[in-house]
Structure formats: C-alpha cells, structure tokens
Amino acid sequence: MKNFKNLLLATVVASLTVTGCNDDFVNTKPLDQVSADAVWSDAALAEAFVTNIYAGLGNGGLDEQMLASLTDETIFTHPGRNITTITESRSNPADVGWVNGTISWPNMYSRIRATNLALKNLEKPQFTNPTMVDRLKGESLFMRAYYYHQLVRYFGAVPLINRPYDLGEADYLAPRNTMEECINFIVKDCDEAAKLLKGKTLAAGRANEAAALALKARILLYAASDLYDATTAKAKSSTHAAYAKSELMGISTGSRTERWQKAKDAAKAVLDLTNYGYQLGLTAPADKEQARANYMNASLSRNGGERELLFARYFINLKQEGGGRQGLFNGPNGYNNWAGNTPIQHLVDDYEMMDGTKFSWSNPAQAQAPYMNRDPRMSVSIMHDGSDWKPRTSAGATRDPANQIQTGTYEVTDGTGKKVTHFGLDTRKSSIEDWNGSYTGYYMRKFTDPSPAVVDQNTWQQIPWPFLRYTEAVLNYDEACIELGQDAEARTWLNRVRFRAGMPAFTESGDALRQRYRNERRIEMVFEEQRYHDARRWMIAPATLGRKANLIVVNGTLKAGKTVNLYKYDPTSYDYSYRVAEIDPGKENRQWADKMYFLPINRDEMNRNNKLVQNPGY
C-alpha cells in the first residue's frame, strides 16, 4: 500500500535486531522471524503486522482478469482462465471456476485470523501509545468487517470466527452462522471501527472513519435487497424455495422496511461527512466537455476527483504491481496490448443519448451513427471504432498516424487504384498481435492513464482502485429512498450525479424511477465490481448476467469517387455500417442457473469441516 515502505523496512530492521547473534547456539533465534512478544511490545512492529493485513486486498479490481467479465459489462478475451465456468453456470464444489485472492475462502479466513490476532494482542498492548492502539484496533476491525463482507456477498452466511484459535483446542470446526448474524457482526465491527478511527489522520490507503461508515452502508443495502430477503428470494427462485437452510442465504425475521431505513440512515451518515465528494453541487447539467472531464477526474482520482475515494488501493511506479498495468491488460492489440476484458454491446447500448432518451437500433439516425450524442461517460469508459487514443507504438505508427481505434473492416485503394480490404489494426485480423484483438469491437478505457507519456505495454501507471467511493454511498442512499417511497429525495441526489455527468434530470417516480436508477448505477459505477453483485441482489441475473454476450461488426465502404490509400476514420469518405451479433458460442456460451446467486463452497473446505452446509443448487 502507498506510504507503507518505511513500515516494512522497520519490520526488516527490527527482525535483524531482535534475532541477532547469540553466544548460546541452542537459544539462537531464527533470522527470518520475529517473535510475538517482540511484535506486540514494539509500536512499529505492531503497526507493520496490521499493515500486512491489507495484503489480502491484492490489486483490488485491477487484475488481468476482472470481475466485469463475469457480468454483462465485458467478456474475457483469452482462453483457459476458468471464467466461463462461472458465466456458463458450470460451477460446482470441485471446480468453482475463476476465484482470485480477494474472493478466496481460505485467503479471506487467513486474513481474518490475522485481524483476530491483532485485536487480541491490542486489548492489553505492551507498548505505550494509546492513540496508535486505538487506530490499529480500528483498522483491524474494519479489515475484519471487509473480509467477512467479501465472504458473505460471494458465498452467503459463513462461520463467524472472532478470536484466534490456539494449538491443542478440542475442536476447530464451526458451523455457518445465519445471514442475519453475519450482517449484524459486520455492522458492529464497522461501528466500532468508525468510533476508533474518528478524527485520526491516516496515510492514503489505510482504513478511516469514512471507509467504515461506507462499508456499513453497503452491507445494510445488501441486507435489504431481494436476494438477502429470504421471503423474496424464495418467491423469485425455485432453487432458493427448495433450500432447507434459507437462514444461510437471507433474512426472514423483522421488517424489510426497517432494513431499508437502516440502509438509508447509514448511507446518509457518509453523505454528511465533509471533505468528500466531487462536483456534486451543480444545479444544471455540465456541458459535454466538462462532463467528460468530471468523469475522467473521478475515475482517475485526479484534479479533485480524489475526493471521491473513501478507501482505495494505491500503486506507485517504484513498486511494479499488476494493478498498475491496466493499459497493458485491457488496451488494444494494435498498441501491442492484451485486450483482456473488452466491453460487450449490451453495455454500450445502455448508455443513454445526451437528451436522456434510450439509444435504439430501431432509430435509423442512431443506428447510422451509434456513438454520436451519447452520455459523455461512454467515451471516457469505452473505446469504440474511431475513438481518438494515444500515439501508436512503432509497430503501428506509420499505418495509423491519426491514432484512432480501428475495430472494423474498411475499403482502401492500392497503388493501382483498386479497392482492397484493410483490416483494422485493433481487430483479430490485424497485422499487429491479432491473437490479442477484441472479440467485441470495443476496448476498456476507464482506469487507463490517457497520457501519451504512459506507454501501456512497458509503463506502470498510478491510478488507484476505488474499493469504496463517495458516489456509491450517494447511490446507496438513492436506492433506499426509492424503496421507501421517498422519490423526491432520491431524485435530488440522483440528479446531482446526473448533472456532473452532463445528463438531464430524472423526473420519474415509482418503478420507472427504480429502473432508471438501476441503469444510472450501472453506467456510473461501470467496471468497479458493482454490477456482479447488483444484478444478483436485485435478482435480475437471468435477464442480464445470463444473456449471450454480443459484439459490433463495423464496415467502412468508400463513397463514390473517393480514394483512400491510408485508412483513418472519416465519414466524408466512408459510409459506415454497424451490425450487432452474438459472440460465437464456441468462445463463450453464457447461461444462468439460480445456483449461481452464490458460489459453491469448495469441496476441500467441505471435507475439512463436516459442520458446513453446502449452498443451494450444488
């Protein structure tokens, strides 16, 4: 994490000091370890221990394989990564499918054990620094809550372990707690963390009061949602209706209205914090260019956009981590990048027109120019055919001096004046790394540094991953208001987000407002690991995550009398046609089964602990 290098250095130095030479060979201490007594009697070592708990966050969402590719946001380009096991609903206890470290059951519990160790030893610290003790306890409580919230939203209710086990205990096995108990446990940890961290100054990347309040707001929103309400989940899914242990999947006691109210109050506590939020005070839509700048600043955390971040994973060039390689992972093959997670047409179609109306392929004018007059956030998040981008690398510089994305097939004229076919440089028929071309005709732009100085295939970038950001809390508040029938209040805050993005105000009420809110959340939070959880908790996954992924086919035909020797996007020389098609089922054949509302508990975990009960459908 950012600013933690000195702490890690202190750990190494302290280790060498504590385990130095000893004349008594029998009592020689290991040189690669630090004793527990040494750690908890030294403030710097205690802080280093807590710092290491953050390692369970990995690169956040900025891995080569992104959660977006389990959703109707993107498709993963490369084979053999176990993503289709999930998108095709083939998950089972022996083969869960792609699960990275931030989802992994054993990895999360390993980090939870570390938080429990920290909390136990900080109850009676052996060093004198009450302010630091409270801060480290607050950070540990937050991280425990965060890791449990990860387990709950992927697997449902889990065993709640709130202490470190010791050697020689009679039993190390634990049954799953109920969903209600898990939610309450996470909320309690967040509340205690917020109190301990209130007023504390922390380095960027460490947990703070705002992070604790935002995590509480998120988990309470989930608790009120369809999937987490046992009665609603049973009504919407026969798989859940047939499951005998519904208390593991949802909450069946109390009032759902009260849960929505708690979610609203928790989100409002975040909104009431000062020094957070970016460009949310506009009273009318920003103009298009300012709107693009607003969204870019928010997604890159620059020029004031960093005020959006409540809890984030930071990257620095001095430490070359995968999270700083998004340009390489997702960028166009025509720039010698890998095109890992590429947007699908369903997502592109959900961006509204600038006037707030829906885009439609049935509208001839829109079908002829599908990227014109769209929500400004689209061009900041997605690169399409004709998008301006960085200077080409040496492989493509002479073939595309205009530096525009080429995902189509175009007519050009050769030296004899004959029409020949030019395959776009950013396609799977490109002359540059065709195996890395997009299947969909699109590339992800969000989270990629647009500076020409950042050459994606050999430069690390410094864009943080937003685990929790202010606008999510705004949208959480909006959703709770809508579900409570407080539409006017919901519109007030929704329109602040809309105006920042250059989009007109919402005027709808009731279910119409709910549907527009859901699309607004989809667009505003795109690629931020929201859609996978939102589509499931709203229980709309069959119609969204289960859709066949689709693509765009672009063709450029020379207008009569026009000759072009070197292709560039040019509507004055070309007639362009656009056709939507499904991804070849041999590449990915998406389908939905209700068992996928939660992932299965791995067979190895089930074999280790006979008190566990498997999730429905497995």
- Please write the tens of the pLDDT for every residue from 63-116: 999 999 999 999 999 999 999 999 999 999 999 999 999 999 999 999 999 999
Flag whether pLDDT at 591 surpasses 50. yes
Q: Region 341-360: what's the mean pLDDT?
A: 98
What's the pLDDT tens digit per position in 146-190? Answer: 999 999 999 999 999 999 999 999 999 999 999 999 999 999 999
What is the Cα 378 distance to its own chain's centre? Answer: 17
Q: What gap in Å lies between CA 312 and CA 323, rounded to an integer?
A: 12
CB-CB contact of 406 with 568 (8 Å)? no
Nearest CA among 11, 9, 53, 8 for reference residue 35: 11
As given in the structure block, the two tokens for residue 109 are 């519990």
CA torsion sign for 29, 31, 32, 36 is positive
Give the residue extent of every domain in the chain: 316-460+550-582
CB-CB contact of 558 with 568 (8 Å)? no
pLDDT reported for residue 24: 59
| Chain mean pLDDT for the chain | 94
Q: Which residue has the higher pLDDT, 127 or 538?
A: 538
The values of phi and psi at residue 262, to 5°, are -65, -40
Q: Region 359-378: what's the mean pLDDT?
A: 98
Q: What gap in Å lies between CA 492 and CA 462, rounded to an integer?
A: 34
Q: What percent of the chain has pLDDT over 90?
A: 91
The values of phi and psi at residue 39, to 5°, are -60, -50
Helix (H) / strand (E) containing 141:
helix 130-155
Mean pLDDT is lowest, of 315-319, 418-422, 434-438, 594-598, for: 315-319
Q: What percent of the chain has pLDDT over 70?
A: 95
Q: What gap in Å lies between CA 331 and CA 405, rounded to an integer?
A: 10
Flag whether pLDDT at 18 surpasses 50. no
CB-CB contact of 55 with 313 (8 Å)? no
Cβ count within 10 A of residue 511: 9
Q: Which residue has the higher pLDDT, 372 or 26?
A: 372
SS3 154: helix
Strand 465-469 to 309-313 pairing: antiparallel
The 3-class secondary structure across 444-491, one letter per residue, is: ECCCCCCCCCCCCCCCCCCCCEEEEEHHHHHHHHHHHHHHCCCHHHHH
Q: What confidence tier does 37 reach under pLDDT thresholds 50, 70, 90?
A: confident
Q: What gap in Å lies between CA 422 and CA 411, rounded to an integer?
A: 6
What's the pLDDT tens digit per position in 178-193? Answer: 999 999 999 999 999 9
Q: What are the distances in angstroms from CA 81 to CA 75, 78, 90?
A: 12, 7, 14
pLDDT reported for residue 151: 98
pLDDT reported for residue 88: 98
Angle at alpha carbon of residue 369, lines to 363 and 375, rounded to 5°: 85
As given in the structure block, the two tokens for residue 475 are 């949208």
Cβ count within 10 A of residue 162: 14
CB-CB contact of 39 with 46 (8 Å)? yes
Flag whether pLDDT at 6 surpasses 60. no
Mean pLDDT is lowest, of 165-174, 396-405, 463-472, for: 165-174
Mean pLDDT is lowest, of 24-38, 278-292, 308-322, 442-456, for: 24-38
Residues in the chain: 618
For 336, half-sphere exposure in the C-beta direction (CA atoms, 13 angstrom radius) is: 12
pLDDT reported for residue 15: 41
Torsion of CA 164, 169, 175, 178, to 10 degrees: -40
Flag whether pLDDT at 2 surpasses 80. no
pLDDT reported for residue 19: 44
Q: Region 402-429: what's the mean pLDDT?
A: 97
pLDDT reported for residue 22: 53
pLDDT reported for residue 436: 98
CB-CB contact of 54 with 1 (8 Å)? yes
Q: What confidence tier does 472 reach under pLDDT thresholds 50, 70, 90?
A: very high
Nearest CA among 83, 90, 230, 84 for reference residue 617: 90
Nearest CA among 182, 197, 220 for reference residue 142: 197
pLDDT reported for residue 515: 98
Nearest CA among 124, 22, 56, 61 for reference residue 467: 61
Q: What confidence tier does 551 reach under pLDDT thresholds 50, 70, 90?
A: very high
Flag whether pLDDT at 38 surpasses 90. no
Flag whether pLDDT at 27 surpasses 80. no
Q: Region 328-343: what's the mean pLDDT?
A: 98
Q: What confidence tier does 269 reach under pLDDT thresholds 50, 70, 90?
A: very high
The DSSP result for 373-421, as a single string, is SB-HHHHHHEE-TT-B-SPP-TTTTTT-TT-B---SEEEEE-TTS-EEE
CB-CB contact of 112 with 80 (8 Å)? no
CB-CB contact of 331 with 65 (8 Å)? no
Torsion of CA 219, 224, 230, 231, to 10 degrees: 180
Flag whether pLDDT at 366 surpasses 50. yes
Angle at alpha carbon of residue 386, lines to 382 and 390, rounded to 5°: 70
Flag whether pLDDT at 567 surpasses 90. yes
Q: Which residue has the higher pLDDT, 31 or 141?
A: 141
* Contacts of range 533-537, beta carbons closer than 8 Å, 24 or more positions apart: 533/153, 533/222, 535/71, 535/72, 536/227, 536/596, 536/597, 537/222, 537/225, 537/226, 537/227, 537/228
What is the Cα 285 distance to its own chain's centre? Answer: 27
Flag whether pLDDT at 194 surpasses 70. yes
Q: What are the distances in angstroms from CA 539 to CA 218, 228, 252?
A: 17, 10, 17
What is the Cα 545 distance to its own chain's centre? Answer: 16
Query: What angle in degrees, to the nearest 10, is found between the helix axes of 43-53 and 105-123?
Result: 160
Nearest CA among 446, 474, 319 for reference residue 62: 446
What is the Cα 547 distance to its own chain's centre? Answer: 20
Flag whether pLDDT at 8 surpasses 90. no
Q: What confidence tier does 1 reach under pLDDT thresholds 50, 70, 90?
A: very low
